[in-house]
Amino acid sequence: MNEPKYRRVLIKLSGQALQGDQGYGISPQTLEVFAKEIVELQESGIEIAIVIGGGNIFRGVAGSTAGMDRASADYMGMLATVINALALQDAIEKFGVATRVQTALEIKEVAEPYIRRRAMRHLEKKRVVIFAAGTGNPYFTTDTAASLRAMECHAEVILKATNVDGVYDDDPEKNPQARRYDRLTYIDVLSKNLRVMDSTAVSLCMDNDLPIIVFDLNRPGNMKRVIDGQDLGTWIGPE
């Protein structure tokens, strides 16, 4: 059995990933598949934190584009991430794994407030920690929240789970000639405007030498392969 390359990871999971093929909301079947993979990682001794988006329910940027006040729209998006976090918590705990949801907005009836030292303790006790409500501030994305929480909790890597098998120089669905990058530097991502994560998130990772691995979530077992150190997806890091 391969020794895992990473012992503490932060998984950035988009809200859209939870909707499966139904185009909106949460697919119970898709949720179960993700939960099972996360449980298998946890049982192998990996300490797992998750930051989840809310785009399957509401996107603040989309609401702002439609004429809503940006701050109000972003707060609505944060609440959408809490819904997703509670759904994922339920799915994981059905497999018998202890899970904690911590939110940047205080909703004490359903989740813990985000407290860094408490989150670290949960991870040490092998509980899966799901961070919801982004950073708790409007105008910041859940990508930025992922970078921030990963550094606060001393994660060794951010695993950015997507619907494609890495970062391309063009949209591979529209351009069959699009080329996939195996490795990129932070500066490459920023200068080429590759939109892997927003520029604030990438800059935070660059300032703290925190690597990002972008991989295809839809192939079963990919999370484990990445953590074991297999050469999958696109690695982003220092030069």
CB half-sphere exposure, 161, CA atoms < 13 A: 27
In this structure, the number of other CB atoms found within 10 A of the CB of residue 41 comes to 21
Pairing of strands 212-216, 234-237: antiparallel
Considering the entire predicted model, what is its pTM?
0.94
CA 20-83-123 angle, to 5 degrees, is 95
The SS3 call for residue 179 is: coil
Q: How far is CA 153 from CA 115, 128, 143, 159, in A?
A: 10, 13, 15, 14
* Mean pLDDT, all residues of the chain: 93
pLDDT > 70 in the chain, percent: 99
How much of the chain exceeds pLDDT 90, in percent?
78
Among residues 97, 81, 102, 91, which one has the least CA distance to residue 45? Answer: 97
Q: Residue 23: its pLDDT value, please?
A: 82
Q: Is the pLDDT of residue 2 over 80?
A: no
Q: What is the per-residue pLDDT for 1?
A: 52
Q: Quick one: three-class SS letters along 121-167?
A: HHHHCCCEEEEECCCCCCCCCHHHHHHHHHHHCCCCEEEEEECCCCE
Q: Are 136 and 205 in contact (CB under 8 A)?
A: no
Which of 4-18, 59-73, 170-184 has the least mean pLDDT? 59-73
Please write the tens of the pLDDT for every residue from 161-198.
988 899 999 888 888 889 999 999 999 999 999 988 99
Among residues 51, 48, 30, the alpha carbon closest in space to that of 39 is found at 48
pLDDT band at 59 (very low <50, low <70, confident <90, very high): confident
Distances (CA, A) of 119 to 12, 116, 134, 157, 215: 16, 5, 15, 17, 26
Question: Both tokens of residue 30?
Answer: 């898709």
Least confident of 28-37, 95-104, 134-143, 169-178: 169-178
Q: How remote is the C-alpha of 148 from its chain's centroid?
A: 12
The domain made up of 8-237 is a member of CATH 3.40.1160.10:
yes
Average pLDDT over residues 30-50: 94
Secondary-structure percent of the chain, ordered helix, strand, coil, rounded to 5: 40, 20, 45
